[in-house]
Structure 1
């Protein structure tokens, strides 16, 4: 036998501003209720929390309910669809998404747990959506590297990226407060990007890394006629086996190379006994020439690109010494495993 329950509401409310003013509204809402698991996108294997929602809710109603659970502002949340082929966050939802919760959950099977992802923001979602995620390395004053993610204007330039970086890092107390963006490939500096260069021209790639650093005081203003910044990199025997942290060094025309060596030793904070094992070479087009003369004086022309070979990177100063660091590369954080889904 079928059991029927009849519900009567004798006096429908007048000018009631509540979301469910009538019994009919209540039972319609009950019919559309759905439990959704919300997982933090930034936490691996986050179990999340369950919120009971209505399939008829729009984006802002969902955001408001989740924000109450997280004790935050709904405008400081970004939501992501769940991937259809595996458990994980998919594409982000725009804050002006016009569909309903039912539209977001339509690809889940009836008995399958409904899951969405979110991340908490430090800026309003309306501002965040006009920015791009830019992964880079920050080189601090202790000559240590750390990965940072910045959110500059997606239509901005390198200058905007550097200004965002200043908000996220700690600069030296008596430093220049000027930053620069370097491009690094295989542990070698291949260029310094100009501040007016558009960020849309800097596409990410697994083979290269962008690094931001504070410009040392002695490198802010250069005498173009007698001074030059040269890239310096570490290698051991083979110049294609570079490793470690590359850096830029200022050299002066005619200065003693012993003075250059002293600055390098101070910068790298290496003990004298260990530094004596270093050998120095000028590397050009994959070939290296060791500096063997005790009284060698710097010649800027040795570090200038060779005429007719503009396709090759400029010469660099190589530090030949044993690599004591672990074999795993420092600049592999952008590399991801290839996954094949059947």
Structure 2
């Protein structure tokens, strides 16, 4: 053993295997190779004794603990969930670290006093995106559980810094609601956070404290919008726990006064914007922009309905004159003339079944393409969007 003083006591270990688990045994210096069952190709590790008078504390004081460290060592790349494509920092961790160990080290790196305000999300190795659902508070045992995705292991975790501790947040339901003002030409996205057992009525009451209404007694409704169609008006007594705002847009708006006093022969219909492509003798209808409801009266001609729509949308005369109006049922447009009685086409009294029939406004989609809420919808006559948390 060149380089060691004769009186130095050197500890020897045999590294028997490293994977899947470390196996390392101490070798008695007094025994022969044969007695220790050492053969050609065996790995022998040596360990220097500490220097005389040294009080230095070693993180890994012997060979077995160091090999365990090397075996479980994991450098993790952390990314902010808001900038999911960029590595922000790296931490050297252990696969055996507990959930609390990991969030504590992230909090220390960020200079955050309360690790419970850190929320982590695992990486999807196939889509190269964050998984849709974050990791629940103490929802996994070890770092290795955070990094596995089916049969693959990642080295990426996404993090968020919350304004309240994660255990408290998990008792609440968070919804992003796009509020459409009745008069002002803007959409404001509000984050509503309520206990999971709350109802849609509670959401609306909370929203009323945050938005400016056209008049104090205005009533609000909550809609589910998907691919520029209205699929649902939420009843006020519906629980919010299972409402999903990840793929669908939740839209709140004032209920127009004319809808509150519907006559026995009035109809509330869906109105959607669309463009049309004709390829290989097949008509493809593509919806865009903001869908809305409209009251139509018995015997009302399309010419009168058009005037009300133009006023509602504040569409310029020159552009509006190019629009075409059609009754669509199951995606097939039947174009209407100004003299056609619109109510004759809409005999259904319910306002569900948005995919079945609606009044279509065919015109070019020339609105600016801006991101909107969580699912990248586009606006017709693009309204300014503000996001409040």
- Place the TM-score, normalised by the shorter chain, in its bin: 0.5 to 0.7
Structure-2-length-normalised TM-score: 0.58
Query: Is the Cα–Cα contact under 8 Å of residues 135 and 149 in structure 1 kept in the other structure?
Result: yes
Tell me whether 1:325 sits opposite 2:366 in the alignment.
yes
Structure 2 CA distance for aligned equivalents of residues 51 and 217 of structure 1: 55
The 5 A counterparts of 1:278-297 are 278-284=323-329, 286=332, 288=334, 290-293=336-339
Q: Deviations over 1:75-125 (max 9, x none)?
A: 221123445668654564332346344665699xxxx99543322223321
Matched, 1:213 2:256: no
Q: Distance in 2 between matches of 1:244 and 1:147?
A: 17
Instruction: Output the CA distance in 1 between the equivalents of 2:193 and 2:371.
Output: 23
Q: Cα gap change, 1:135/1:61 in structure 2, threshold over 3 Å: closer, same or farther?
A: same
Distance 1:213 1:139 in 2: 6
CA distance in 2, matches of 1:257, 1:87: 50
SS of the counterpart of 2:105?
Answer: helix
2:83 match: secondary structure: coil
* C-alpha displacement of 1:261: 3.1
Q: Residues 83 and 191 (structure 1 numbering): CA distance in 2 closer, same or farther, change over 3 Å?
A: closer
Q: Distance in 1 between matches of 2:193 and 2:94?
A: 33
| CA shift for structure 1 position 66 | 1.9
What is the aligned residue count? 312
Kept in 2: contact 1:222–1:228 (CA 8 A): no
Match of 1:19 in 2: none
**How much has 1:154 moved relative to structure 2?**
5.4
Tell me how large the CA RMSD over aligned residues is.
5.0
Q: Counterpart in 2 of 1:95?
A: 137
Between 268-277 and 173-182, the greater mean CA deviation after superposition = 173-182
Partner of 1:71: 111
**Secondary structure of the corresponding residue to residue 120 of structure 2:** strand
Matched position secondary structure for 2:252: strand
1:212 Cα deviation from its structure 2 partner: 0.4
Alignment match of 2:318 (pick from 253, 273, 281): 273
1:305 aligns with 2:348: yes
Contact conserved, 2:179 with 2:190, CA < 8 A, in 1?
yes
Deviates more, 1:258-267 or 1:154-163: 154-163
What does residue range 160-199 of structure 1 map to in structure 2 within 5 Å?
162=204, 170-172=211-213, 174=215, 178-184=219-225, 187-199=228-240
8 Å CA contact 1:57–1:101 kept in 2: the answer is yes
- Measured in 2, the distance between the counterparts of 1:10 and 1:185 equals 69
Q: Alignment partner of 1:263: what SS?
A: helix
- Residue matched to 2:162: 121
SS in 1 for 2:84: coil
> For the pair shown, which has the larger CA radius of gyration, 1 or 2?
2
Larger strand percent: 2
Q: Deviations over 1:1-56 (max 9, x none)?
A: 35613278999xxxxxxxxxx94778589875765433223213222223455666
* Cα deviations by residue, 1:184-234 (Å, 9 ceiling, x for unpaired): 45534344232333456656897xx44403124425733453654321122
Q: Quick one: which of 26, 48, 53 aligns to 1:4?
A: 48
Deviation of 1:267 (Å): 1.9
Return the offset for 1:273.
2.9
Aligned mates of 2:316, 2:371 — CA distance in 1: 23
1:269 Cα deviation from its structure 2 partner:
1.4
Matched, 1:41 2:81: yes
Whether the 8 Å contact between 2:119 and 2:162 is mirrored in structure 1 is: yes
For residues 268 and 193 of structure 1, the distance between their equivalents in structure 2, rounded to whole angstroms, comes to 24
* TM-score, normalised with respect to structure 1: 0.64
For structure 2, the 5+ residue unaligned runs are 2-45, 277-282, 377-389
2:277 is the counterpart of 1:234: no
- More deviation in 46-55 or 135-144? 135-144
Distance 2:49 2:270 in 1: 81
- For 1:147 and 1:68, how far apart are their aligned partners in 2? 32
Kept in 1, the 8 Å contact 2:229–2:354? The answer is: no
What is the deviation of 1:161? 5.2
Q: Secondary structure at the match of 1:303?
A: coil
Contact kept, 8 Å, 2:301 with 2:338, in 1: the verdict is: no
- What is residue 290 of structure 2 aligned with on the other side? 245
Q: Which runs of 5+ in 1 are unaligned?
A: 12-21, 336-342
